[in-house]
Structure 1
Amino acid sequence: MIAAPIPLDDAERLEALRSLDLLDTAPEERFDRITRVLSLVMDVPMAYISLVDSDRQWFKSSCGLSRSETARDVSFCGHAILSDEPLVVPDAAEDDRFCDNPLVMGDPFVRFYAGYPIAGPGGQKVGTLCIADHRPRDLEPAQLEIFGEMARLVERELGLTEVAHLQQELIASQHYLMRELSQAAEYVQTLLPEPLDGQIRIRWTFHPSSQLGGDFFGYDWIDPDHFVLYLLDVSGHGVGAALLSISVANALRGRSLPNTDFRDPAMVLARLNDAFPMERHGEKYFTIWYGVYDRKNQRLTYANGGHPPPLLLSGPSADRTSPVALSVGNFAVGIIPGVEFHAGVVALDRFSKLFIFSDGAYEIKKPGRSMMRLEELMDYLASVPGPGGPDEVLRFAQKYGESDSLADDFSLIEVDIRA
Structure 2
Amino acid sequence: MTAETAPAAETPGPDAAAADQRADDVRRRDALDRLGLLGTGAEERFDRITRLASREFGVDLALINLVGEDALHAKSQPVGVDFGTTPFGTAFCEHTVRQPGMLEITDAAADARWSQLPAVTEHGMRFYAGVPLRVETGEAVATLCLYGQEPRTLDDDERGLLGRLGQWAQAELRTDDTAADEQDAADASAPDAETDTVPGPRGQARVSTLAIPFGTVSGDASAWAEIDGTLVVSLVDVMGKGEAAGAIARAVVADLQSHGAVDPAEALRRAEQAVGARLRDSDSFTTVFHAVLDLGTGELRYVDAGHGLTMHLGADGRGTRLYSRNLPLGLVSDGDEWEVGRLAVGHGDVLVSVSDGALDAYDSTLDSLRRLGEELLGSRDPGAFFDALAERVAAQLVDDDVTAVVIAVS
Q: Could you say whether these structures have the same fold, taking a TM-score greater than 0.5 normalized by the shorter chain as the test?
A: yes
Aligned to 2:58: none
Note the 1:123-142 alignment, pairs <5 A: 128-131=143-146, 141-142=156-157
Match for residue 308 of structure 1?
A: 308
Which whole-Å CA distance do the structure 1 matches of 2:382 and 2:396 have between them? 15
2:321 to 314, 319, 325: 325
Aligned-pair CA distance for 1:24: 2.6
Matching of residue 38 in structure 1 with residue 35 in structure 2:
no
Structure 2 unaligned segments of length 5 or more: list them. 1-13, 56-60
1:16 match: 24
Output the CA distance in 2 between the equivalents of 1:133 and 1:211.
46
CA distance in 1, matches of 2:365, 2:403: 16
Structure 1 position 27 matched with structure 2 position 37: yes
What is the aligned partner in structure 1 of residue 221 from structure 2? 216
Cα shift at 1:333:
0.7
Residues 7, 37 of structure 1: alpha-carbon distance in 2 compared, 3 angstrom cutoff: farther
SS of the residue corresponding to residue 164 of structure 2 reads helix
Rg: which structure is higher?
2
TM-score (norm 2): 0.72
Matching residue's letter, 1:344: G
Deviation readout 1:328-362 (Å, 9 max, x if unpaired): 11101112342332111112222321111111111
In the TM superposition, what is the alpha-carbon distance from 1:272 to its structure 2 partner? 1.7
2:407 equivalent to 1:407: no
How far did residue 16 of structure 1 move?
Answer: 3.0
> Given that residues 38 and 47 in structure 1 are in contact (C-alpha distance below 8 angstroms), is that contact kept between their aligned partners in structure 2?
no
Deviation (angstroms), 1:232: 0.7
- Cα distance change on mapping 1:240 and 1:204 into 2, 3 Å: same
**Over the residues paired in the alignment, what is the CA RMSD in angstroms?**
4.6
Counterpart position of 2:352? 355
Secondary structure, in 3 states, of the residue corresponding to 1:284?
coil
- 3-state SS of the aligned residue for 2:86? strand
Letter in 2 for 1:305: A
CA gap of 1:195–1:332, structure 2 versus 1, over 3 A, is same
**1:119-158 to 2 correspondences below 5 Å:** 128-131=143-146, 141-151=156-166
Identity, % of aligned positions: 21
Q: Give the partner amino acid of 2:66.
A: S
Q: Secondary structure at the match of 1:22?
A: helix
Describe the SS at the equivalent of 1:386.
helix
Q: Alpha-carbon deviations, 1:48-83, whole Å to 9, x = none?
A: 143253x31246x54667676321122331354576
Q: Are residues 63 and 388 of structure 1, via their aligned partners in 2, closer, same or farther at CA, if it must alter by over 3 Å? A: farther
Give the TM-score taking structure 1 as reference length: 0.70
Conservation of the 8 A alpha-carbon contact between 2:294 and 2:300: yes
- The 2-side partners of 1:408 and 1:119 are apart by 21
Kept in 1, the 8 Å contact 2:50–2:76? The answer is no
Does the CA-based 8 Å contact 2:309-2:356 persist in structure 1? no
Asked if the contact 2:115–2:121 (Cα under 8 Å) also holds between the matched residues in 1, the reply is no
Counterpart for residue 265 of structure 1: 264
Once residues 122 and 210 of structure 2 are traced to their aligned partners in structure 1, the CA distance between those partners, rounded to angstroms, is 42
Shift of 1:397: 4.5
Name 1:387's counterpart in structure 2.
Answer: 379
